[in-house]
Amino acid sequence: MQSQSQAQTTPASSSSTPPSPPSAEPTAITLLSRLCPTTTSALDLHHVPNDKAVFSCAKCSEVLALQDELVSKAFMGRSGRAYLMNSTINTRLGKREERKLMTGKHTVADLHCASCGQELGWMYIKAPNGEQRYKEGRYILEDAQIVKENNW
């Protein structure tokens, strides 16, 4: 087709340019490194009171989040309904990547159960604009991957 304008650079022309690593988004990295340790260590799973309603891993029953931390139920995951959470526990983040979602291009990282490795959803690291900013640092738990336990 006729879309040659940006992709075509002569391979030899860039040989003399000094290697300067693109430091485009330091904020996202800082955000991630700041959030990773806090989310898993701020709450100790094994001290969740018995009367707290929680979300657990559908596969291994590990407690993943307090239902108190639920922000919104009106989200869609890969497999259907999903929850937006303020925090999760006993989870582990995958590789950071850009993903095009219904609301625009977001920087996200997949969220896994720290106990069995099951993929649970993702974390929003960077949102495309101010309107979506409230999702940054928050987590998507897919309904299909979790079990709701109401202990009260």
* Binding of Zn ion by 116 (CB under 5 A): yes
The smaller minimum CB distance to Zn ion, of residues 31 and 45, is found at 45
The one-character DSSP state at 67 is G
Q: List the one residue out of 88, 86, 95 whose CA is nearest residue 136.
A: 86
Mask: binding to Zn ion, 94-113, rule CB under 5 A, as x and -?
A: -------------------x
Q: Which of 56, 67, 86, 115 binds Zn ion (CB under 5 A)?
A: 115
Alpha carbon 112 to its chain's center: 9
CA distance 87 to 71: 10
Q: Are 58 and 114 in contact (CB under 8 A)?
A: no
Mask: binding to Zn ion, 15-54, rule CB under 5 A, as x and -?
A: ----------------------------------------
Q: Which residues bind Zn ion (CB under 5 A)?
A: 57, 59-60, 62, 113, 115-116, 118
